[in-house]
Structure 1
């Protein structure tokens, strides 16, 4: 803004002042950026945002991976793109497993978080030219309107800066309804400024409108039809959707309270009306059972098969939206595998081998479709390994998990699941070799995150006297059980034995802080560190 005012101001003294302010602000920003880690910058509420500008920022790096995927896909359909709204397919197809080095969550992108990248990926060069032509037209009206004195300097600067900020923002974000409304209103305002007449012309136009704006029967009928149409649209896309979302929340509450059968009944009623957002509601129920398949066994025996069939119908309906959607195909595989597991003989049911293989074969087909859509997305292979393990195909299970781990050796989950599979197959040495790699990872504690599991591994590594991994596991435990002073006390002892005196002191102080009854022994321990 200062730059534009400097260029356009007709007052020489003001121009000099603005130029000095602009240069000062520019130099100041550069100096702050060069010293972004200083205590002064970090301690200032105004300057602190500069300290967060970092090329190692996880969000920036995941978006760079997303944009590279679009670049890789561009040669396949340069003119028309992959189709509007299909960015998720491009992202999945060229997904880079290094993504997991920056975050473990939000690994599915349906938007590029860069409007230019998304438009060229989904609508091609023709779409990008069309999109940029909007800004070219607005620039034309602004510049020529200013030159013809139809647009004042303040209007020119403010609108120009607003649209520039909007365009730059879209290089790291995507449009939403609110930004669409503001941008279109601004475009209309610029067009109005360029084409508005004199005050006398405006008065004549208003007078004409007042004289001719007389409603006849035709206009009244038209308004009634439009009003009824709007009410129907509001009911279909607002009222019904609201009721569906409210029902979905009620279903989630019932599940959280352990009322599984009531959950199913609520969802059946909720989804009966049919809305445009049913897919999300269906997915929320599917995820509950996919995360905990054993919950099926809590249902009455005569209700289980009906619930299985209901879940299958939901996920099949979701896949119909787009059979190339990797996530939906993976969810389909999970539900088919859940159904297959139901037909395995157990204590209270005889099972059905034919049904087992019918659903298990469908699960394999679905998971292979998911992999085809996103061949380097590591967790999909974990689901495939589970299906293979259910079928008793041990060698293929191990091969699948070995490949998954090889896709990104810095992603500890691959080694964790491979180790777990080896344990289930009774191959202890191979199991703990891989689990050890997970423990060694900087993010291993996010994978081994249950106290019982951590203690199981602790017993093994203590037995073989692998003290570095024992220490790592105790560090995991102190995160998992923050109020357990014994964990901190044990960790302090191991730190001392390994010669890490400073950490031993900190751990002992933490144990003493949590449990004051340990104050005397902890203080004696700390004193012993100085001898």
Structure 2
């Protein structure tokens, strides 16, 4: 068996295989997750990937020191990818917060830090793997990892091995670190932890599987394995029920088939292309026509595909977000606001529609690659990103032309169609590390097969540029330089991997101890994580504030300890605002904590109001901020505070005049301020809203508010209205029974209790005792 790499010495061979081994090890990233980390599916993958890329870099630098012929090669694809990364850096340098652009956060674990590691991974693959045999090993490994991920996903559906393994881990005391996810049988998530992200990863592996199946004309049994793996991946993709990925796959197959029909000289191949096109169209028409049948409705993937409409909450949310994104783009059209800064633009232009439909309120991605790039990198970044695909298309075209091989043409067409499918699904989701890995590996493959020659003008200019840089830099011995790089990489490893991992783990332990009711231990771990002062500090501070907000501190700490905790929490969040003042979310966290802290120390009130005003200035369309600030203003007890509270509530109501929630909060402030006549006027205005009669949840919430202010008759009226909507609950009648009893309407109380028992048999004993009590009162009454 011939050697995979042609080397001239043992040391060279050792270093080449070390680099290759580390890059192969990085391919296992999608399988990595650990419960000992905060965001176990994301941070643990990033941690693992960065380590092996850094190891590969060190080995590669030593390889260059001893064998310069392995220096990076230039291709149009490499230039395009490098250009995109350079634009991302440029946009971030001139953006609104370079620190966030570089470090990102634990939830995403991306930023320029990860982009740089992905670029290094891409560049090392581009430099090291030069033959198709080398790439075949790499692709086989990638497909093997994807196969393991799909097996794991399938067992999430079957629940055969995962529960047994979890029992073993639990018996060994390892459940915290090695517990396997049991996602149920709806949407498969595998080791990726999210169905949409898993589907995106699978889609690119389907492209790889199709490529090796159609391109490599090997043994029949091997092609049969490729075909089986391809079919298996498609089946698992279907079970993720991810609409964007499924539609992207169908679009890619459609494009490939159309190309066969339009370009192929062979009539049979054109006929095959036409047949597939017709099959896709007929499939789509059949599913859409049968969308109301039991089969489609009971098949999650088909049900989700046929539920796409302009009135679908997800569609409404996406369109509103994209509209806000367009506005943000027009404010910084050239270079955008910097990598990872989308959240700032989103908060500034928060779509009130999301509040109205009760969708997700905090977005750090536009959920489409178009606006993610336009907002963060401007039109320059978008052009740079598009140039990558232009370079791939040009390179594949050149490869087909140079080889004049039908086999190469088929392979190139598969890659073009596959990348088109990838772009199509990215119109509705965003990339994660597992998809980056396969995407950039495909780019590296195309670039490595079409390198620019030494006598090419671009190569010569690049070499001249490198030479000009060398004139102004020291020229140490290659081995000394490799040693320096090794030391630098080790230092970087400690700063970007080891310390953040310690802080992340301490945070995860804090949250776990909190969930177990061990609040003293949780507090110790929170403080440990904050003391490390890593790039994840702002998330740790936010979670610490959530710890303070989610617990009844009076039952767990002394008053002196509570005062100290509020000071720690507010000081920490004030530091967040100092470092990331452009992000309104930090103001929202601090405002909530101040509102709670005011109960223990009224001296916080003035600063709380100031933070609230700053929050509104940074995100003027977020109703919750108005509500919180109005409550704080009302607590001042001054006429000016009361007036400002009313102004804030009316400003909030004006943001969405047809939303009943606005008036609920307005009436709340009216009652807090003792403005009963104004509350009545606002209530009458509320009842005239079209949505009010279909809002039983809002009716119950308002009824409880009136109960708090002892307006029982209005509360009865509201619970009766809630029942009249056709969404009655047993608890509606329980509350009505209590209210009727309180207002001496005993017959009505008895009837309400009977109805509650009819709706929920578990209440029979409780309602029987209540009815007996009523009967006793009736017997003793004159």
Under a length normalisation based on structure 1, what TM-score does the superposition of the two structures give? 0.76
CA-atom RMSD, angstroms? 4.0
Contact 1:488 / 1:508 at 8 angstroms: preserved in 2? no
* SS of 1:152 mapped into structure 2: helix
Number of the residue aligned with 1:191 = 447
Alignment partner for residue 312 of structure 1, among 554, 566, 570?
570
Alignment partner for residue 233 of structure 1, among 487, 492, 496?
492
For residues 341-372 of structure 1, give each alpha carbon's deviation from its aligned partner in whole angstroms, at most 9, with x where no partner exists.
4334xxxxxxxxxxx1xx33322222111111
What's the CA shift for 1:115?
Answer: 1.2
Partners of 2:301 and 2:722 lie apart in 1 by 45
What's the CA shift for 1:445?
Answer: 1.6
Give the structure, 1 or 2, with the largest relative contact order (CA under 8 Å, sep 6 or more): 2
Asked if 1:331 is matched to 2:586, the reply is no
Number of the residue aligned with 2:622 = 377
Asked if 1:5 is matched to 2:260, the reply is yes
Number of the residue aligned with 2:79 = none
Number of the residue aligned with 1:159 = 415
Distance 1:408 1:451, change over 3 A: closer
Number of the residue aligned with 1:407 = 655
Alignment partner for residue 445 of structure 1, among 693, 697, 710?
697
Contact 1:511 / 1:518 at 8 angstroms: preserved in 2? no
Asked if 1:283 is matched to 2:542, the reply is yes
What's the CA shift for 1:259?
Answer: 5.3
Number of the residue aligned with 1:71 = 326
Number of the residue aligned with 1:511 = 760
For residues 367-407 of structure 1, give each alpha carbon's deviation from its aligned partner in whole angstroms, at most 9, with x where no partner exists.
11111111011111012112212222222212211221221
1:319-468 equivalences under 5 Å are 319-344=577-602, 356=603, 359-392=604-637, 393-428=641-676, 430-431=678-679, 434=682, 437=686, 440=692, 442-443=694-695, 445=697, 448=700, 460-461=712-713, 465=717, 468=720
Under a length normalisation based on structure 2, what TM-score does the superposition of the two structures give? 0.53
What's the CA shift for 1:110?
Answer: 1.4
What's the CA shift for 1:452?
Answer: 6.4
Number of the residue aligned with 1:498 = none
1:298-309 equivalences under 5 Å are 299-309=557-567
* SS of 1:153 mapped into structure 2: helix
Contact 1:485 / 1:512 at 8 angstroms: preserved in 2? no
1:144-183 equivalences under 5 Å are 144-148=398-402, 149=404, 152-183=408-439
Contact 1:488 / 1:511 at 8 angstroms: preserved in 2? no
What's the CA shift for 1:171?
Answer: 1.1
Number of the residue aligned with 1:348 = none
Number of the residue aligned with 1:57 = 312
Partners of 1:45 and 1:404 lie apart in 2 by 39
1:94-133 equivalences under 5 Å are 94-104=349-359, 106-133=360-387
For residues 220-266 of structure 1, give each alpha carbon's deviation from its aligned partner in whole angstroms, at most 9, with x where no partner exists.
65555545544443433333333323322333344445555554333
Partners of 1:451 and 1:226 lie apart in 2 by 68
Contact 1:461 / 1:467 at 8 angstroms: preserved in 2? no
Contact 2:333 / 2:378 at 8 angstroms: preserved in 1? yes
Contact 1:419 / 1:435 at 8 angstroms: preserved in 2? yes
Partners of 2:665 and 2:587 lie apart in 1 by 21
For residues 256-309 of structure 1, give each alpha carbon's deviation from its aligned partner in whole angstroms, at most 9, with x where no partner exists.
4555555433322221122211211110111233456x6368532333332222
What's the CA shift for 1:143?
Answer: 2.3
Number of the residue aligned with 1:243 = 502
What's the CA shift for 1:68?
Answer: 0.7
Number of the residue aligned with 1:213 = none
Number of the residue aligned with 2:527 = 268
For residues 470-514 of structure 1, give each alpha carbon's deviation from its aligned partner in whole angstroms, at most 9, with x where no partner exists.
526995754xx5xx9957999xxxxxxxxxxxxxx9987643587
Partners of 1:142 and 1:169 lie apart in 2 by 22
Partners of 2:758 and 2:671 lie apart in 1 by 37
Alignment partner for residue 393 of structure 2, among 139, 158, 161?
139
Contact 1:290 / 1:335 at 8 angstroms: preserved in 2? yes
Partners of 1:8 and 1:284 lie apart in 2 by 58
Count of residue pairs brought into register by the alignment: 471
Partners of 2:590 and 2:767 lie apart in 1 by 53
What's the CA shift for 1:324?
Answer: 1.8
Partners of 2:433 and 2:287 lie apart in 1 by 35
Range with greater deviation from structure 2 (111-120 or 227-236)? 227-236
What's the CA shift for 1:461?
Answer: 4.1
What's the CA shift for 1:163?
Answer: 0.6
* SS of 1:37 mapped into structure 2: coil
Number of the residue aligned with 2:275 = 20
Q: Which segments of 5 or more consecutive residues in structure 2 lack a partner in the other structure?
A: 1-252, 454-475, 739-753, 769-782
What's the CA shift for 1:134?
Answer: 1.1
